[in-house]
Structure 1
Amino acid sequence: MTHAETPLVDLRCEAHTYPDGTVGMHDVEFSVFPGEIVALVGGNGAGKSTLLEHLNATLVPDDGELVVGGTPISEDNKTRARKEVGFVFQDADTQLVAPTVLDDVMFGLQNYGVPTDEAKQRAREALETVEAGHLEDRIPHYLSGGEKRLVGLAGVLVLEPSVVVLDEPLAGLDPERSRLVAERVQKIHADGISVVLSTHDLDFAAEVADRVCVMTDGNVVGGGTPSEVFYDDALLAEANLHPPSAVRVARDAGLASAQPVTEAELVSLLTEVDNLDATRTPAPDGRGRD
């Protein structure tokens, strides 16, 4: 997959080593472009969270560079990265700090000196964007897991970032709340914000992503469109991943050549096959319909 645009975020990380000596990431080049959803997939310990935390300078390379909006990021301008690249952590409680949901979503704006009335209005608009306006007076820590994710997302959106990063946005959620969060992710993308997310759920990645990057052992070992990645048996085996459900069913049904990756694509393909078979069913006089 090639891009003509200038990346919104461009990371080159030759190495990142944690204080205990663990190598979190090495030899990584990763970019985020306008108008895309990128899914990072890989097993536990593959380096997905480490990569994501480099995108807004929460972590910095031991050797390398982060460029956001064309500007190299250093210790002096990390706030630029954190404003342009909003981060929603897997553990939503880590970013819920205020007594009410509305106060929490306003928090970042007030840190930037936005007047209270304006911050309150923008916070309410951000909550409405993720359809969580009804939560504004609730105490954040009493929300459900899915509600906390939406509030965390609103707290990022209120700063008007160009990229939103979500670390395992469906982790620990039941199917209904997972669907709700997935819908909100697609909605903010439709509003023109690029999204980068990590996930263990390859069905979800197939459903929402324009581009999939596969990580293992602290490196990006492959990537492409969902169909390019999820029909690449060697790449998935290298990362110890199993393809999405639609891919497995398509292979079993002998339909892999069409490369469906989502349930909707598979159903559409099966419907086409059924309709084609119906036109070939012999008529009562023994002659085929066609």
Structure 2
Amino acid sequence: MTDVTDDSVNGTDPLVALRCKSHTYPDGTVGMHDVEFAVHADEVVALVGGNGSGKSTLLEHLNATLTPDKGELRVTGERIIDENKRHARQEVGFVFQDADTQIVAPTVLDDVMFGLHNYGVPADEAEKRAHEALATMDASHLEDRIPHYLSGGEKRLVGLAGVLVLEPSVIVLDEPFAGLDPERSRLVAKRIRHIHTEGVSVVLSTHDLDIAAEIADRICVMADGNIIGNGSPQEIFYDEDLLNEANIHPPSAVRIARDAGLDIESQPVTEAELVAFLGQQSATTDGVGLAHFDGDTND
């Protein structure tokens, strides 16, 4: 597995590097301890784990919404302290699980422009960038709508546009698929993939491991406020001991492969990968059968 404490990938420094020896909430609850986590350019990272494992706490440290009791956060190489938290907020955009907490304006277009106004962007440029961000989300048709009346999936797209418009290096999403039906989950996942193709790194937490397997380059497993596993989807989702320790189940494709007793070196983690493997196996089997049949006719 990848060493989660390794700050450099291919000789490049991380966009975000968090070292948190501890974070304790005011009521005494320990949210996180001994965590070292980095986000690099051009990657999608999924945090997975049970409820209370520390996923949301970790995410909120990445843009200094929360700060370590002991440790430090660096964003694009700059150490974040009270005086420069603005830098973290500009470089690391955050989309909260409850989309309503980020709705502040009477129309969708106004809402997407809100952050730009706060940073002093001229009105004409702010409107132009807001139009572009909504178009990227395939949400231009929502511009004049009242945000509070949107569906859950539509609110997530608007929230993503409101963050994307600020042109961050990293976008962080806390449970972006929570409460969405399968079709809207796929829509949001598609938009996340599109954001990544535009050169923005993405970090998300999710209980939907099927989607995590489809869109993530790297999986981090959390339990009891710490990262207990870090690696590719194949490395993580075929590690039974690790998944048992985190009390989570692998994606559907992995469960089917195991239940069927398939000997799969390629380790498919998505439905498409499993179907491709079965298709190859079927073609190989048919080929062997035909060879035997041809041999019999020549006897």
What's the TM-score once normalised by structure 1's chain length?
Answer: 0.97
**1:285 positional shift:** 6.2
- Cα offset for 1:284? 5.0
Q: Which moved more, 1:266-275 or 1:251-260?
A: 251-260
The answer on whether the counterparts of 1:280 and 1:288 sit within 8 Å (CA) in structure 2 is no
Kindly indicate whether residue 267 of structure 2 is the aligned counterpart of residue 259 of structure 1.
yes
Instruction: Find the aligned partners of 1:107 and 1:270 in 2 and give their Cα distance.
Output: 50
Aligned-residue offset at 1:286: 6.2
The equivalences for 1:95-244 within 5 A come to 95-244=102-251
Partner residue of 1:287? 296
Question: Which AA in structure 1 matches 2:289?
Answer: T
Partners of 1:63 and 1:191 in 2: how far apart? 35
Give, in whole Å, the separation in 2 of the partners of 1:61 and 1:91: 23
Q: Does 1:74 align with 2:47?
A: no
Structure 2 alignment gaps of length 5 or more = 4-8
Q: Distance in 1 between matches of 2:38 and 2:100?
A: 28
Give the whole-Å Cα distance in 1 for the aligned partners of 2:216 and 2:174.
Answer: 14
**Runs of 4+ residues over 3 Å off in structure 1:** 282-286
1:275 is displaced (CA, Å) by 0.1
The CA deviation at 1:280 is 1.1
Of the structure 1 ranges 8-17 and 248-257, higher mean CA displacement relative to structure 2 is found in 248-257
SS in 2 for 1:280: helix
Out of 42, 65, 69, the residue aligned to residue 62 of structure 1 is 69
Cα separation, 2, equivalents of 1:118 and 1:279: 62
Tell me the CA shift for residue 287 of structure 1: 2.7
Instruction: Decide whether the 8 Å contact of 1:8 with 1:70 is kept in 2.
Output: yes
Q: 1:33-54, CA deviations, whole angstroms, 9 ceiling, x for partnerless residues?
A: 0000000000000000000000
What do you get for the CA RMSD once the two structures are aligned? 1.3
Percent identity (aligned): 71
Q: Report the 3-state secondary structure (helix = DSSP H, G, I; strand = E; otherwise coil) of the residue aligned with 1:258.
A: coil
Does the aligned pair in 2 maintain the 1:247–1:256 contact within 8 Å?
A: no
Count of residue pairs the alignment pairs up: 289
Task: Give the 3-state SS of the residue equivalent to 1:287 in structure 2.
Answer: helix
Structure 1: unaligned runs, 5 residues or longer: none
Deviations 1:122-178 (A, max 9, x none): 111110011101100000000000000000000000000000000001000001100
1:267 corresponds to which letter in structure 2? Answer: V
1:26 corresponds to: 33
* Cα deviation code 1:171-218 (max 9, x no counterpart): 000011001000000000011000000000111110000000000000
Q: CA deviation at 1:258?
A: 2.3
Q: Work out whether residues 38 and 212 of structure 1, in 8 Å CA contact, stay in contact via their aligned partners in 2.
A: yes
Q: CA deviation at 1:251?
A: 1.5
One-letter amino acid of the structure 1 residue matched with residue 278 of structure 2: L
Q: SS in structure 2 opposite 1:281?
A: helix
Cα deviation for residue 116 of structure 1 reads 1.0
CA distance in 2, matches of 1:102, 1:235: 44
177-186 or 255-264, larger mean C-alpha shift: 255-264
* 1:271 partner letter: G
Q: Is the contact between residue 56 and residue 87 of structure 1 (CA under 8 Å) also seen in structure 2?
A: yes
1:273 aligns with: 281
